Amino acid sequence: MKDRQPKLKDYLHDIQQCVKCGTCHAYCPVYDQERREPVVARGKMALAQTLLEGKTEIDERFMRNLSECLLCGSCSNKCPNKVPVEEIVAATRREIAAQKGLSLFGVGLTQVLRRPWLMKLGARFGHLFSAVLFRRIPQQSGLRLRFPAPYIRRDRTIPKVAPHFLRDSYPEFIPGAEDRPHVALFTGCMINFMFPQIGDAAIRLLKALKINIHIPKDQGCCGVPALSSGSGGTVTELAQRNFEALGRTKVDAVLTMCASCNFGLRSHLAKIGGEAGEELAGKVMDIHPFLIKYGIQEILAHTPAPAEVTRVTWHDPCHLRNIGVTAEPRALLRALPGIEFVEMPDADKCCGLGGTFSVYHYDLSLRIGAKKVDSIASTKAAVVATGCPGCMLQLQDSINHAGLNCRVCHSLELLDRALNLEQSE
Amino acid sequence: MLDKAIIQQLQQIVGADYLTTEPADLTCYAFDATQRRYLPDVVVYPHNAAEIAEILKLANAKRIPVVPRGSGSGFSGGSLPIEGGIELVLRRMDRILEIDEENMIAVVEPGVVTETFQKAVEAHGLFYPPDPASLKFSSMGGNVAECAGGPRCVKYGVTRDYILGLEVVTPTGDIINTGGRTMKGVVGYDLTRLFVGSEGTLGVVTQIIVKLIPKPAAVKTMLITFDSIRGASQAVSHIVLGRIIPTTLEFMDSTSLDVVRKATNIVIPEQVKAVLVVEVDGEPELLEKQAQQILTIVQPFGVVDTKIAQNKAESDDIWKLRRSISPSLRTVNPNKFNEDICVPRSRIPDMIVALEKISSEVGVPIINFGHAGDGNIHVNVMVDLATPGMDEKVERALRAIFEATLELGGTISGEHGIGITKAPYLRMELKDKVIDYMRIIKRALDPNNILNPGKIFGTDGGQ
């Protein structure tokens, strides 16, 4: 499909807003490891600017420098001039793809992303061969790849593909109370294929609140992996598909359980053109504030506490932090019976996954993850909760590398368990 | 372009992984916070003084310019490779080597970020006061090279007041030590002070011995609003005459208040024409009393309102007002000329009047705020350089600002240094004879003018 994403030249004014002050140094997780200007936002703004001025060629180093970004938004969040760095980096990557073609990995990835049947087939295949591909690590959750796969190192923890997929397990509409809101649940790929238990938990929680739930089967990928690889056409195509699937029935909110999906869905819907896209984008909402708004805390208040107390800490996914969803997940965790909530230092620092970043720069990604693990370890928490399956993947991998005895889960799983909803069904 | 043989020699010194000549890397080292662009020929990331000595020996023999760089966040172009050559990036040398609680000193490498260092010593109940606005990302080496200041300097002094000794690699490649680990020390010339603030033109600092003081137990923040800048300034003088030296004494004049009114939703009553943010620090039980004393002292000078922060949130609120100026400035015009003149603190009102006059005469907006306690005014000439003839107007405004500053007994740079941005104005402040002596020093240390050439004295260098 034709790429309707903004072009790099559309960002010229934004790029000029970067005054090279250096504030981004203080917040970039990659710079924190590397201490080189090309990895940090202002270096990338200089590269984007010289590219627009025609003063540089896209060579191998140029591409590498542009690939060294997590798109985490830590810099733009603190930028005095509010330069939209992630958008500019993504636009530069699209420019690279337009001039040089997608990387081999990018080609493979986008082929899968734009074909849900292929993704499903791959996932099904992955499930059948899970036992051969992965081996379980004693005492720790998560799995490690047994055989080296292209681009993926063998000591990397990859979760098992789920035996059932989320969207296959539910009807497209689950009615709630008549006077309660209607929501569309955006499942995202990782929750649909790898962590359906998060979706199960979300659906039980929404049912407990008597919400009317729509789960359109033809929704697809949010577009973040395609954005990260620089495939503008795929981003547009996916956004169009999601617009049609999620916009079919009039809903009050489109709920996400994955921070990155929230970012992807919201920003890409807004850019497909037309007011309808923008209106739907405006309804995209993370599930934590929604649950609070519709009274989950009152239910929690009447839930008896278990005998055992678990110590839990919270990791802020970048894409929740960037939209200011930081208080709500904490409020929910604090409200859980049987849970002692502890704040970790630098909870809002990126875990280091960054989508395709960790595929191209796995060592660097692990070094950023190791710093996160130090923060987690200092809390002596048994569980680290977060609101993004991507972060879960990275956190568990980093924890396994460090040999720390700590489990990673989605906050929705803790909520579900505390309310014992699965048993009462 | 440097020839291959030299690149190979540099590679042998620092290792192939710690050097780059890739255009896509050099582009990222072509700038600092002045936004001017000059490409280096090669970027090297040395690990220690020995490597730097080898690099400088090679550069000196082959007459290659070498430009030391910390975080590249300077406002005067100190780290720009204006003649190309070797960009010497020191951010990898970032160890805190020692925190000696008994003698209250620390030893650090130049690449340590200032705030990282401050947090490390504060964990020991110690304090390193200099607090440039860039402290979250600027490096200790850069702070030493520029003799950085900050709001707390009114009470605690600037970077040079905390540097006891240095390890320096000279432009000819010798590694020398200046000063030492003691508070006192009068053996020979004070070379430490010579290197502090020398803008990377005399040597490359590779270790810094820092003096520390006990961390103040508590801080109290207050906001005082005035109906005129003169009132605010008189208030500052009388606070000092009352023998109270606050930790910080920040002011905003009516130009900066107007910008904040327009760009943010912060409510500032119309009759407020100047604002002081005052902080005192020390034992908590004394602070409330001192704050009340200050409020009594300032009362006769057209005070509109006062507020003493009772907790961290209220203090953050007060600072939010002061910190909202810089980001708001760009709503005035896209291009900023950010000067950091300094006048005796009693002359601030005269300077503000002069600035207003220059602003209307030349026809460019000038927005002022800064450190009232030490007379350091951040003068921001906000223009759109795309407007025809604007370059000339800016030049006229800057010259007039510096003339007025010097007439009032001030200096053209309190914190940022001369570098390249203020080099054309150096002669306005310094007599020829003084410049001659400075150049004699430069020539003695750097006979071939290879270290940061073109800075301070302009492109005719130290020769």
Q: What is the pLDDT of residue B95?
A: 97
CA distance B129 to B157: 8
B249 is in which domain, residue-wise? 218-327
> Which of B307, B327, B347 corresponds to the end of one domain?
B327
Position with higher pLDDT, A306 vs B260: B260
- Indicate yes or no: CB of B134 within 8 angstroms of CB of A21: yes
* Radius of gyration of the CA atoms of chain A, in A: 21
Q: Which residue has the tokens 């130009």?
A: B255
Residue A163: pLDDT band by 50, 70, 90 thresholds?
confident
CA distance B195 to A190: 57
Q: Could you tell me the CA-to-CA distances from A318 to A71, A267, A278, B134 in Å, in that order?
A: 9, 15, 23, 24
CA distance A82 to A69: 17
Q: What is the pLDDT of residue A135?
A: 41
How many C-alpha atoms does B199 have within 13 Å on its Cβ side? 25
Nearest CB to B71 within list A25, A61, A81: A25
Q: SS3 sequence, chain B?
A: CCCHHHHHHHHHHHCHHHEECCHHHHHHHCCCCCCCCCCCCEEECCCCHHHHHHHHHHHHHHCCCEEEECCCCCCCCCCCCCCCCEEEECCCCCCEEEEECCCCEEEECCCCEHHHHHHHHHCCCEECCCCCCCCCCCEHHHHHHHCCCCCCHHHHCCHHHHEEEEEEECCCCCEEEEECCCCCCCCCCCHHHHHCCCCCCCCEEEEEEEECEECCCEEEEEEEEECCHHHHHHHHHHHHHCCCCCCEEEEECHHHHHHHHHHCCCCCCCCCCEEEEEEEEECHHHHHHHHHHHHHHHCCCCEEEEEECCCHHHHHHHHHHHHCHHHHHCCCCCEEEEEEEECCHHHHHHHHHHHHHHHHHHCCCEEEEEEHHHCEEEEEEEECCCCCCHHHHHHHHHHHHHHHHHHCCCECECCCCCCCCCHHHHHHHCCHHHHHHHHHHHHHHCCCCCECCCCCCCCCCCC
Nearest CB to B23 within list A22, A42, A56: A56
The answer to whether residue A77 sits within a structural domain is: yes
The minimum CA-CA distance between B231 and chain A, rounded to whole Å, is: 31
> Which of B327, B345, B369 corresponds to the end of one domain?
B327
The answer to whether residue A178 sits within a structural domain is: no
Q: Which residue has the tokens 């005492």?
A: A139
The answer to whether residue B435 sits within a structural domain is: no
Both tokens of B69, joined, read 């760089």
Both tokens of A59, joined, read 């060579």
B233 pLDDT higher than 50: yes
Q: What residues form DSSP beta bridges with B2?
A: none
- Indicate yes or no: CB of A80 within 8 angstroms of CB of B326: yes
Could you give the 3-state DSSP secondary structure of residue A62?
helix
- Indicate yes or no: CB of B28 within 8 angstroms of CB of A37: yes
The answer to whether residue A152 sits within a structural domain is: no
Q: What is the pLDDT of residue B443?
A: 97
The answer to whether residue A284 sits within a structural domain is: no
Q: What is the pLDDT of residue B143?
A: 98
Find, among B358, B434, B364, B365, the residue nearest to B401 by Cα: B358
Find, among B61, B2, B47, B50, the residue nearest to B26 by Cα: B2
Find, among B63, B70, B57, B65, the residue nearest to B85 by Cα: B65
- Indicate yes or no: CB of A61 within 8 angstroms of CB of B24: yes
On chain B, the residues whose CB falls within 8 A of the CB of A22 are 33, 71-73, 134, 137-138
- Indicate yes or no: CB of B113 within 8 angstroms of CB of A37: no
> Which of B187, B214, B241 corresponds to the end of one domain?
B214
Cβ(B138)–Cβ(B114) below 8 Å: yes
B247 pLDDT higher than 60: yes
Q: pLDDT > 90: what percent of chain B?
A: 89
Report the residue of chain A nearest B90, measured CA to CA: A35
The answer to whether residue B447 sits within a structural domain is: no
A108 pLDDT higher than 70: no
Position with higher pLDDT, A356 vs A44: A44
On chain B, the residues whose CB falls within 8 A of the CB of A23 are 136-137
Residue B173 neighbours by CB distance under 10 Å: 16
- Indicate yes or no: CB of A56 within 8 angstroms of CB of B92: no
Q: Residues B415, B338: one domain?
A: yes
The answer to whether residue B438 sits within a structural domain is: no
Is B149 in the A-facing interface, judged by CB distances under 8 Å?
no
The complex's ipTM?
0.93
- C-alpha B352: how far from chain center: 21
Strands of A207-266, DSSP E: 212-214, 253-256
- Across the range A134-151, mean pLDDT stands at 41
Q: What is the pLDDT of residue B179?
A: 97
The answer to whether residue A241 sits within a structural domain is: no
The minimum CA-CA distance between A315 and chain B, rounded to whole Å, is: 23
Q: Residues B84, B64: one domain?
A: yes
- Across the range B216-220, mean pLDDT stands at 95
> Which of A100, A133, A166 corresponds to the end of one domain?
A100
Q: Chain A: which residues have CB within 8 Å of chain B? A: 16-17, 19-23, 25-26, 35-38, 42-43, 46-47, 50, 56-57, 59, 61-62, 64-65, 80-81
Q: Could you tell me the CA-to-CA distances from A28 to A8, A16, A44, A350, A376 in Å, in that order?
A: 22, 20, 12, 9, 19
Q: Residues B195, B101: one domain?
A: yes
Instruction: Determine the residue among A36, A40, A59, A68 to mutate to test chain B binding: the one whose Cβ has the most chain B Cβ atoms within 10 Å.
Output: A36
- The H or E element spanning position A420 is none
A144 pLDDT higher than 70: no
Q: Could you tell me the CA-to-CA distances from B363 to B353, B390, B393 in Å, in that order?
A: 15, 10, 8
Residue A332: pLDDT band by 50, 70, 90 thresholds?
very high
Least confident of A78-87, A99-108, A117-126, B252-261: A117-126
Residue A2: pLDDT band by 50, 70, 90 thresholds?
low
B289 pLDDT higher than 80: yes
Q: Which residues contact B421 (CB under 8 A, 6 or more apart)?
A: B34, B75, B76, B77
On chain B, the residues whose CB falls within 8 A of the CB of A21 are 33, 73, 134
The minimum CA-CA distance between B89 and chain A, rounded to whole Å, is: 9
Q: Which residues contact B187 (CB under 8 A, 6 or more apart)?
A: none
Residue A229: pLDDT band by 50, 70, 90 thresholds?
confident
Phi, psi of B117 (to 5 degrees): -65, -45
The answer to whether residue B235 sits within a structural domain is: yes
Q: What is the pLDDT of residue A146?
A: 36
Q: Residues B188, B115: one domain?
A: yes
Both tokens of A377, joined, read 């370890």
- This prediction has a pTM of 0.88
Instruction: Determine the residue among A15, A28, A35 to mutate to test chain B binding: the one whose Cβ has the most chain B Cβ atoms within 10 Å.
Output: A35
Per residue in B344-354, pLDDT (tens digit) is 998 998 999 99
On chain B, the residues whose CB falls within 8 A of the CB of A61 are 22-25
The answer to whether residue B140 sits within a structural domain is: yes
The minimum CA-CA distance between B37 and chain A, rounded to whole Å, is: 10
- Indicate yes or no: CB of B91 within 8 angstroms of CB of A65: no
The answer to whether residue B205 sits within a structural domain is: yes
* Radius of gyration of the CA atoms of chain B, in A: 23
Strands A143-145 and A182-186: unpaired
Residue A208: pLDDT band by 50, 70, 90 thresholds?
very high
Nearest CB to B35 within list A19, A56, A65: A19
Find, among A238, A232, A6, the residue nearest to A112 by Cα: A238
CATH of the domain at B198: 3.30.465.10
B447 pLDDT higher than 50: yes
Q: What is the pLDDT of residue A313?
A: 97
Is B118 in the A-facing interface, judged by CB distances under 8 Å?
no
- Across the range A200-224, mean pLDDT stands at 94
- Across the range B233-241, mean pLDDT stands at 91
> Which of A54, A72, A100 corresponds to the end of one domain?
A100
Q: What is the pLDDT of residue A231?
A: 83
CATH of the domain at B351: 3.30.70.2740
- Across the range A334-363, mean pLDDT stands at 89
CATH of the domain at A378: 3.40.50.1860
Per residue in B121-150, pLDDT (tens digit) is 999 999 999 999 999 999 999 999 999 999
The answer to whether residue B317 sits within a structural domain is: yes
- C-alpha B223: how far from chain center: 25
Q: Distance between terminal CA atoms of chain B?
A: 24
On chain B, the residues whose CB falls within 8 A of the CB of A53 are none
How many domains are there within chain A?
2
Q: Residues B239, B283: one domain?
A: yes
Q: What is the pLDDT of residue A356?
A: 75
Is B17 in the A-facing interface, judged by CB distances under 8 Å?
no
CATH of the domain at B297: 3.30.70.2190
Phi, psi of B8 (to 5 degrees): -65, -40
The answer to whether residue A320 sits within a structural domain is: yes
Averaged pLDDT of chain A:
86
Both tokens of B149, joined, read 């200041």
How many domains are there within chain B?
4
Could you give the 3-state DSSP secondary structure of residue A316?
coil
The answer to whether residue B170 sits within a structural domain is: yes
Residue A147: pLDDT band by 50, 70, 90 thresholds?
very low
Cβ(B359)–Cβ(B366) below 8 Å: yes
Q: What is the pLDDT of residue A125?
A: 56
CA distance B292 to A356: 58
Is B33 in the A-facing interface, judged by CB distances under 8 Å?
yes
- Indicate yes or no: CB of A37 within 8 angstroms of CB of B72: yes
Q: Residues B285, B266: one domain?
A: yes
On chain A, the residues whose CB falls within 8 A of the CB of B39 are none
- Helix A232-246 to helix A104-113 angle (10° resolution) is 20
B452 pLDDT higher than 90: yes
Q: pLDDT > 70: what percent of chain A?
A: 85
On chain B, the residues whose CB falls within 8 A of the CB of A20 are 31-33, 35, 72
> Which of A65, A100, A135 corresponds to the end of one domain?
A100
CA distance B168 to B159: 17
Q: What is the pLDDT of residue A355?
A: 74
Per residue in B391-444, pLDDT (tens digit) is 999 999 999 999 999 999 999 999 999 999 999 999 999 999 999 999 999 999
CA distance B110 to B106: 12
Residue A357: pLDDT band by 50, 70, 90 thresholds?
confident
CATH of the domain at A90: 1.10.1060.10
Residue A360: pLDDT band by 50, 70, 90 thresholds?
confident
The minimum CA-CA distance between A1 and chain B, rounded to whole Å, is: 31
Cβ(B278)–Cβ(B239) below 8 Å: yes
A309 is in which domain, residue-wise? 297-424
CA distance A139 to A407: 10
Cβ(A425)–Cβ(A179) below 8 Å: no
Q: Residues B414, B346: one domain?
A: yes
The answer to whether residue A387 sits within a structural domain is: yes
The minimum CA-CA distance between B407 and chain A, rounded to whole Å, is: 32
- Across the range B46-52, mean pLDDT stands at 98
A376 pLDDT higher than 90: yes
- CB–CB contacts below 8 A, A to B: 79
Report the residue of chain A nearest B21, measured CA to CA: A61
Q: Residues B30, B80: one domain?
A: yes
The answer to whether residue A236 sits within a structural domain is: no
Q: What is the pLDDT of residue B197?
A: 98
